[in-house]
Amino acid sequence: MRSSLLHLLLFIFTIILLHGSTTAKKPPLFGGSHPIKNLTDPHILDIANFAVTQHNKEANSNLIFERVIKGKIGVVEGVEYHLIIEAKDGTNICKYEAVVWEREWLHFRNLTSFKLLKKKSQAAWKPVENLEKDVHALEMAEFAVMEHNKKAEDVLVLKKVVSGETQVVDGVKYRFVILAVDGAKVCHSYEAVVWEKAWLKFKKLTSFKLLKKLT
């Protein structure tokens, strides 16, 4: 009789322990929210990356996550992350608000909201100083003419770089006004824009347009 009673008490005690360990893993159904103090916490960055990746899948976009600016956490039958993040859209860095709902004990995440807040204004164009002696800038202008000739099957010959400007935007953009002679020996004025990422050995002609015929 005593042995049976001990077994019964041991069984009840085991059930209580198991129940306690199971329910301890689950967060409360509802609760308040509080700001995120450590914005570089690996789990927060993982949530932000998930938000951008999921948005890219849903919107067929190619945003690249940059950083978390601020955020807060709310407990709602799991954890809800409200994040303000920066992500790169092409050459622009934009600010977005993302909301991710996570139930970590179920290995569940869902992007419930992702919206554009505003774009960062691009850096201003600045004139190239000592343009005539800036070898690299002149090489960029020559590259612009060569690339145009390849794409347009043209035969322009660069005569002079009239002016040049640079803009820092995920690398450097060069904007030139140049004089070039076509196959009929007629001189024209053009505007050319070249985008360079020197650390990647990347350069691209993004714009080349006729301004006016000079002679």
> Measured between alpha carbons, how far is 1 from 3 in angstroms, rounded to an integer?
5
- The reported pLDDT for the residue numbered 25 is 42
pLDDT in tens, 51-77: 999 999 999 889 999 999 999 999 988
| Diameter of the chain measured on Cα atoms | 117
CATH class of 126-213: alpha beta
In the DSSP assignment, the letter for residue 113 is: E
User: Could you check whether 27-119 and 126-213 share the same CATH topology?
Assistant: yes
**Domain limits, the chain:** 27-119, 126-213
> Which parts of the chain sit beneath pLDDT 70?
1-31, 119-122, 213-215
Give residue 93's pLDDT. 83
What is the C-alpha to C-alpha distance for residues 110 and 90, in angstroms, rounded to an integer? 25
Strand order across the beta sheet in which 172-181 lies: 126-127, 157-168, 172-181, 187-197, 202-213
Domain covering 27-119, topology: Nuclear Transport Factor 2; Chain: A, (3.10.450)
